[in-house]
A and B are shown apart, each in its own frame.
Chain A
Amino acid sequence: MSEKDIDGIIEKYRGQPSSLIHALVEIQHQNHWLPREVLHQVADALRVPFAQVMQIASFYKAFSLTPKGRHEVHVCTGMTCHLRGAPKLQAKVEELTGLKDGETDADSRFTFETGACLGSCSIGPELIVDGKHYGRMTPEKVADVLKRYE
């Protein structure tokens, strides 16, 4: 994402302190993380104290204050997925990627995250990579899916 895109989002909300979350969501969606200098720009443009921007950015789970990998790997840990075998799936992903929940690998290939619930319970347990759902996953199939993402 270019600086111009970020500037565009910030400009849209200039002078609107109540739109802080909107602005951060858009930047997060496009840029996948919130660099500190961008948060300073947001604070100045929306006229919100930087401390408050940090409070919001660090509180909500959707915001990331560190860069993410090229691919976001997600295991749903919702109740149905849990009952249908998500813990084993999670263990397999952790084994294959060497990552724990929330971590990114050194060459920025994967960021691994867990979370609940994505509402596709009928096809759980689920592995989601970059928003694409892989339903009814078994630990055996994980390696095959991850191979598709370089």
Chain B
Amino acid sequence: MPKLQSAAELKKLRAEILAKRDPAKPCIAVCAGAACDGMDSAAVAAAFLAEVAKQKLGGKLEVRTTGCHGYCEKGPNVVVTPGEICYFEVQPADVPEIIAATLKGEVVERLVYQDPNTGAKAVHMNEVPFYKHQTRLLIGDNPKIDPMRIEDYLAVDGYAALVKALTEMTPEQVLDEVKKANLRGRGGGGFPAGSKWETTRNAPEKTKYVIVNGHEGESAAFMDRAMLTGNPHKVLEGLIIGAYAIGAQKGFMYTRHDMPLLEKHVRNALAEAAEYGLLGKNILGSGFDFECELHFDVGIFVSGESSALMRSIEGNPPEPRPKYIRTSVSGIWDKPSNLNNVETWANVPQIITKGAEWFTSIGSERSKGTKLISLSGNVVNSGIVEVPMGTPLRTLVFDIGGGVRDGKTLKAIHFGGAMGGSIPVDLIDAPLDFDGMSKLGAPIGAGGLLLMDEDTDMVEVARYLLDFLVNESCGKCVPCREGMPQMLHILTNMTEGKGRTGDLERLEDLAEVTGLGSLCALGKTSADPLKSMLRYFKPEYEARIPSAGETK
């Protein structure tokens, strides 16, 4: 493939790709997301390919291995187009039947969704309860894309936003659009991306960097890797547009080292983009130069913190530094460095293509757009969900999630992993909103939502989360390194029936000091789950403390 020299050449290439495709030709998309892969979807995909080869059906139907479709609970997932017919829990033995039905334009009834209560069947994606309450702007393309083929991304209008930004807009206009869209950081902070970009853009240094934070260390959060593994070009396109707006010459993708498919897809996407002239010198003849490097986190939670992540990219241990030096002014090698989360970058192309006005029409008053949520825990339908900001939690938990597993009742909803918080079931009508959820004490964080059923011991959950953080602290500051083990010690005693009078006061004291005295968010928010539990579930904690007179 010769390098594309101009926007016109990209347009021509896209037209050629689309001309070669027949929308009526059936396509069988096999999910290879993390959960489906774990259920050996690779064997299903291999069976489809073998059957197509055996029956010489290459001209009649296409088989595509894709990123995560979303409904992880029911993997391996298969979606057949046209019609978006969804098959669940597909095994290699089901393959000949699916192929035969697809060629005849029929449906394999026994593999479609069936409502566990009513027995009603749902064939098409827009009828399946898990999908029909969602707005899948970011993840919706996943079943249409083989992440190893840039053509698939180009076929769904990929890189059209980059063309628009480079040819029709000045960097200032791009920045302005993102600011107007009020795109807020999806990594946890909810800080407006546009303001962050502007700070880096206005920083005096000439050399500037942009970074994709794909570390995703938060426990039970798996949407970023689904996005980056399933549609790496979308994230890269957002990054290139951001670099153009900010005036950065170099980007870094920082992601997990322990997901072989993720690494393979991102490496391939970077190589393809360079081959097509979407990375490198003079991108599409615009005069804009940009390159991107891939870096790996090698296994500690705190390296997802922005300043720590930048130390890691430099090749140093990931120790955070005080926040008064902003990384957007002085980051990697002390140069202005703008870091955003995977999902934040993935939102950029659509804001440029469809405009800020369209984007702000979705979502709640202060949180715009959609949010990817990893739904898991004691939920019936776990998976990756995308809903407009402002959606009531009830929709997520019951309409999409299908409620609690094994006929149990819901006790608590936990957001934000080890630095998040738990709220009781009576707050289930709260809307999914950055500020609202923070006020309730369960900040959205990156978007990991867990259901906890009636059997969940909240003291044990707080102990578990602190145990996780104690192992992930970098150890640089004393309040975090020493404060957390003390809290853990008390909580462990309480779960073992060795609670003592004054434990709750000591916990509250330690939580406050650790929060105030630590440098980075890990220490500062380490006691947040505990605080939320003392706020909503205090009787459970008090029950572990012997009343006066019976102290052991």
Instruction: Give me the interface of A with B, judged by CB distance under 8 Å.
Output: 17-22, 24-25, 28-29, 55-56, 59-63, 77-80, 82-84, 115-124, 126, 131, 133-135
Q: Which residue of B lies closest to A115 (CB)?
A: B299
Q: Which residue of A lies closest to B474 (CB)?
A: A59
CB of A25 within 8 A of CB of B378, answer: no
Select the residue from B299, B315, B382 with max chain A CB neighbours within 10 A.
B315
Select the residue from A20, A79, A119 with max chain B CB neighbours within 10 A.
A119
B143 at the interface (CB under 8 A from A): no
Specify which chain A residues have a CB less than 8 angstroms from the CB of B222 in the assembled complex.
117, 119-121
Q: Which of B132-186 contact A (CB under 8 A)?
A: none
Given contacts A120-B38, A122-B376, contact A21 B452 (CB under 8 A): no
Q: Once bound together, how far apart are the Cα atoms of A123 and B315, in whole Å?
A: 35
- Pick from B39, B417, B456: contact of A135, CB under 8 Å: B39
| A-B pairs with beta carbons under 8 A, tally | 119
Q: Which of B204-234 contact A (CB under 8 A)?
A: 216-222, 225-226
**Which 8 A/B pairs are nearest by Cβ-Cβ distance?**
A122-B72, A61-B299, A119-B222, A133-B38, A62-B298, A62-B299, A121-B376, A80-B376
CB of B39 within 8 A of CB of A60, answer: no
CB of B219 within 8 A of CB of A116, answer: yes
27 contacts between A and B (CB under 8 A): A18-B315, A19-B315, A21-B315, A56-B316, A60-B300, A60-B317, A61-B300, A63-B298, A77-B468, A78-B220, A79-B414, A79-B448, A79-B465, A83-B450, A84-B378, A115-B299, A119-B225, A119-B226, A119-B259, A120-B34, A121-B382, A122-B72, A122-B75, A123-B35, A124-B376, A134-B38, A135-B35
Q: Once bound together, how far apart are the Cα atoms of A21 and B221, in whole Å?
A: 25
Q: Which residue of B lies closest to A17 (CB)?
A: B315
B358 at the interface (CB under 8 A from A): no
Specify which chain A residues have a CB less than 8 angstroms from the CB of B452 in the assembled complex.
83
Specify which chain A residues have a CB less than 8 angstroms from the CB of B450 in the assembled complex.
79-80, 83
Sorting the interface of chain B by its residue count into under 10, 10 to 19, 20 to 34 or 35 or more gives: 35 or more
Specify which chain B residues have a CB less than 8 angstroms from the CB of A56 in the assembled complex.
315-317
Q: Once bound together, how far apart are the Cα atoms of A83 and B452, in whole Å?
A: 8
Q: Once bound together, how far apart are the Cα atoms of A58 and B448, in whole Å?
A: 30
Specify which chain A residues have a CB less than 8 angstroms from the CB of B448 in the assembled complex.
79
Q: Once bound together, how far apart are the Cα atoms of A80 and B316, in whole Å?
A: 32
Q: Which residue of B lies closest to A121 (CB)?
A: B376
- Pick from B39, B216, B312, B414: contact of A123, CB under 8 Å: B39
Specify which chain A residues have a CB less than 8 angstroms from the CB of B465 in the assembled complex.
79
Interface string of B420-464 (1 = CB under 8 A from A): 000000000000000000000000000010101000100000001
CB of B257 within 8 A of CB of A121, answer: no
Interface string of B278-298 (1 = CB under 8 A from A): 000000000000000001101
- Pick from B34, B75, B258, B298: contact of A60, CB under 8 Å: B298
Q: Once bound together, how far apart are the Cα atoms of A67 and B312, in whole Å?
A: 25
CB of A83 within 8 A of CB of B456, answer: yes
CB of B260 within 8 A of CB of A131, answer: yes
Interface string of B307-327 (1 = CB under 8 A from A): 000001011110000000000
**Chain B: interface secondary structure?**
mixed
B102 at the interface (CB under 8 A from A): no
Q: Once bound together, how far apart are the Cα atoms of A18 and B312, in whole Å?
A: 10
B218 to chain A, nearest CB (A): 8
B40 to chain A, nearest CB (A): 8
Select the residue from B38, B226, B314, B383 with max chain A CB neighbours within 10 A.
B38
Q: Once bound together, how far apart are the Cα atoms of A149 and B222, in whole Å?
A: 29
B374 at the interface (CB under 8 A from A): yes
Q: Once bound together, how far apart are the Cα atoms of A62 and B417, in whole Å?
A: 21
B386 at the interface (CB under 8 A from A): no
Given contacts A21-B296, A120-B34, contact A55 B378 (CB under 8 A): no
Q: Once bound together, how far apart are the Cα atoms of A85 and B171, in whole Å?
A: 51
Specify which chain A residues have a CB less than 8 angstroms from the CB of B38 in the assembled complex.
120, 123, 126, 133-135
Specify which chain B residues have a CB less than 8 angstroms from the CB of A29 in the assembled complex.
257
Q: Once bound together, how far apart are the Cα atoms of A28 and B378, in whole Å?
A: 36
CB of A25 within 8 A of CB of B296, answer: yes
CB of A118 within 8 A of CB of B315, answer: no
CB of B34 within 8 A of CB of A119, answer: yes
Q: Once bound together, how far apart are the Cα atoms of A88 and B295, in whole Å?
A: 35
B503 at the interface (CB under 8 A from A): no
Q: Once bound together, how far apart are the Cα atoms of A25 and B377, in whole Å?
A: 32
CB of A20 within 8 A of CB of B315, answer: yes
Q: Once bound together, how far apart are the Cα atoms of A135 and B89, in whole Å?
A: 13
Specify which chain B residues have a CB less than 8 angstroms from the CB of A59 in the assembled complex.
300, 317, 474
Q: Once bound together, how far apart are the Cα atoms of A41 and B511, in whole Å?
A: 45
Q: Once bound together, how far apart are the Cα atoms of A22 and B465, in whole Å?
A: 30
A117 to chain B, nearest CB (A): 4
Specify which chain B residues have a CB less than 8 angstroms from the CB of A84 in the assembled complex.
377-378
CB of B417 within 8 A of CB of A79, answer: yes
Specify which chain A residues have a CB less than 8 angstroms from the CB of B225 in the assembled complex.
119
Interface string of B183-205 (1 = CB under 8 A from A): 00000000000000000000000
Q: Which residue of B lies closest to A28 (CB)?
A: B298
A95 to chain B, nearest CB (A): 21
CB of A118 within 8 A of CB of B34, answer: yes
Select the residue from A62, A83, A115 with max chain B CB neighbours within 10 A.
A83
B436 to chain A, nearest CB (A): 23
Q: Once bound together, how far apart are the Cα atoms of A18 and B315, in whole Å?
A: 5
Specify which chain A residues have a CB less than 8 angstroms from the CB of B260 in the assembled complex.
131
CB of B298 within 8 A of CB of A120, answer: no
A82 to chain B, nearest CB (A): 6
B84 at the interface (CB under 8 A from A): no
CB of A55 within 8 A of CB of B317, answer: yes
- Pick from A17, A60, A80, A133: contact of B220, CB under 8 Å: A80
B37 at the interface (CB under 8 A from A): yes
B399 at the interface (CB under 8 A from A): no
Q: Once bound together, how far apart are the Cα atoms of A29 and B230, in whole Å?
A: 23
B73 at the interface (CB under 8 A from A): yes
Q: Which residue of A lies closest to B332 (CB)?
A: A18
- Pick from B75, B216, B298: contact of A119, CB under 8 Å: B216
B392 to chain A, nearest CB (A): 22
Given contacts A79-B219, A119-B216, contact A60 B299 (CB under 8 A): yes
Q: Once bound together, how far apart are the Cα atoms of A64 and B140, in whole Å?
A: 39
Q: Once bound together, how far apart are the Cα atoms of A77 and B314, in whole Å?
A: 30
